[in-house]
Chains A and B, each alone.
Chain A
Amino acid sequence: MSHQETYRPQAPGSQPAYAHPPYGSTHKRAPKQPLVRLDATASERSGPSFLPSRYPPLTDLSRVNERDAMGQRIVVSGKVTDEEGRPVRGTMIELWQANAAGRYHHARDDHDAPLDPNFRGMGRVFTDDEGRYRFMSIKPGAYPWKNHFNAWRPNHIHFSLFGPGYASRLITQMYFPGDPLFPLDPIFNSIPDAAARARLISSFDIETTVPEYALGHRFDLVLRGLHATPFEGGG
């Protein structure tokens, strides 16, 4: 009997399936063949590392060239842990979002809402030794999309995280509490398990609210981690 670091299987319903008919863009992009199960090799038990010296942090999305973006200022903070609650230290988090009017700083976003010259909507932060992160921004607006008639995305901020190994990679969206668009959004509802959906909704937090400045929102994330698993043989 020997031990090897590997990933635990994901709980049923905790992740979206590739094919999700209410989300039209999955129709021609979701694979039809079953995925091939891969036992993590050295390629998956390791993963890229990012240092702030090479990937400079950008922790305040609410300002460009010392000028304030329009919108409700927010401060978002939280903790990144693995499935056993161990902090994920020094991991890079990339952030992007629409402006307060619901428009991205992106050539292909043709939503007829104003652009904000003082908002680019891109950030990059690193977790500290306790797995904590924090950034300033403005609350993104909801925006229409063409998935179905009168479709609107709930307010959200995109998160991209790397974590300790290749299979820890997480790209997700942080939502805001009480959004009336939740029951209508096929992307949010692609996650079968209601508790797993609820974990993507940030909570308002008076403790981290900055007096006279910005509303606090807490958003914790859990990444797949590597765990020692006994296995027979070893050949």
Chain B
Amino acid sequence: MPGASAQQTIGPFWHVLEEDDWADLTRFGADGPKLILRGRITDGAGAPVTDACVEIWQTSPAPAEDFPGWGRCATDGNGHYQMVTFLPGQAAHVSVMIHARGLLKPLMTRAYFEHHPMLEHDAVLRAVDPARRATLMAKPPPPLGEVWGGGENPDPGGEDVLQFDIRLQGENETVFFEI
């Protein structure tokens, strides 16, 4: 039997597919503690990645009729993305997949939540070099007034706002996984 078909880059024009409301995983009416997950994607030169497709997937809270567990959004002209979802319950992470021009296949990473009770028991995180684990942690956004990755400052956000920046290459390169 042949193996899986080969991947090819999503390219720069995938936005033809884009539906703005797919970035809001709460749109089907589910209730729960909300999480705004946002961040900035930069390349090996520190430049913003302005044409990426970001997808998240979470199994907690459990996907249901009113919660898809999956969302997609585009990065903007400053490399920023933003999803609206619910805080995971049992799992200490949300899975994040990145597609972009220049990526011949998807990049897979995880946004972990500090202070989550399951964090210290997480076998995936423990398999990562401790020196690189910080790249997998979503953090509270810096206070208003600090430059947040160039360009305009976003909303100050509340305690349900977490920032997960992704560095594709170079210093503090984000940990990416293969399955």
Contact = CB atoms under 8 A, between A and B. Distances in A.
Interface in A188-235: 188, 190-191, 195-197, 199-200, 221-224
A38 B177 contact: yes
A123 B168 CA distance: 30
B148 interface: no
A7 interface: yes
B127 A36 contact: yes
A32 B170 contact: yes
A76 interface: no
Contact of B17 (A7, A94, A199): A94
Interface residues of B, number: 61
B144 to A, nearest CB: 31
A19 to B, nearest CB: 9
A173 interface: yes
Interface string A79-99: 000011100000000101010
B9 A187 contact: yes
Contacts of A196: 3, 5-6
A16 B173 contact: no
A150 interface: no
Interface residues of A, number: 72
B13 A31 contact: no
Which secondary structure dominates where chain A touches chain B? loop
A48 B4 contact: no
B39 interface: no
B106 A83 contact: no
Interface of A: 7-8, 10-11, 14-18, 20, 23-33, 35-44, 46-49, 54, 83-85, 94, 96, 98, 104-106, 108-109, 120-122, 158, 160, 166-167, 169-173, 187-188, 190-191, 195-197, 199-200, 221-224
Interface of B: 1-17, 28, 43-45, 47, 49, 51, 57-59, 63, 68-70, 91, 93, 95, 97, 99-108, 110, 123-124, 127-128, 132, 168-170, 173-179
